[in-house]
Structure 1
Amino acid sequence: MPQGVSCSVSNCTFWKEGNACSADKISVDIDQHADQHFYEEFASDDLGLQHQDQALKSSATCCFTFKPKE
């Protein structure tokens, strides 16, 4: 589990009590890429993300690890 990763999105498959993320790895990107689909979910060490970007503030980022609970 990623150490120290807090998440309040309780309808995510990886969400655990205490706002903890139970994903083995997380993928975070800038909102500019929000419409991209990273279907490689945990398939490789880099999660299919080989590009590098810069965000001016945290609100310009989003977590691509999110997977809704079924």
Structure 2
Amino acid sequence: MKILFVEGPSTKIQLRDEEFDYFFNKVKSYWKRPILDLINDMQSYFERSQVIGFMKNKISIITDIQA
């Protein structure tokens, strides 16, 4: 994911994991749209029981995916 956020949506990379490849391409397809659109779409892939928790307060933006 780091390469996507560094190089942008024109990134072309061979991924070996079909599920990760799908998610990677999903993020690319939402690149110029508000992040909430992506989050709302991704919510349909998870059940509430799979969610670990929620943050009530705003969190700071993580600038490095490995941070």
Normalising TM by the smaller chain, what interval?
A: under 0.3
- Whose strand fraction is larger, Structure 1's or Structure 2's? 1
User: What TM-score do the two structures reach when normalised by structure 1?
Assistant: 0.25
- Whose helix fraction is larger, Structure 1's or Structure 2's? 2
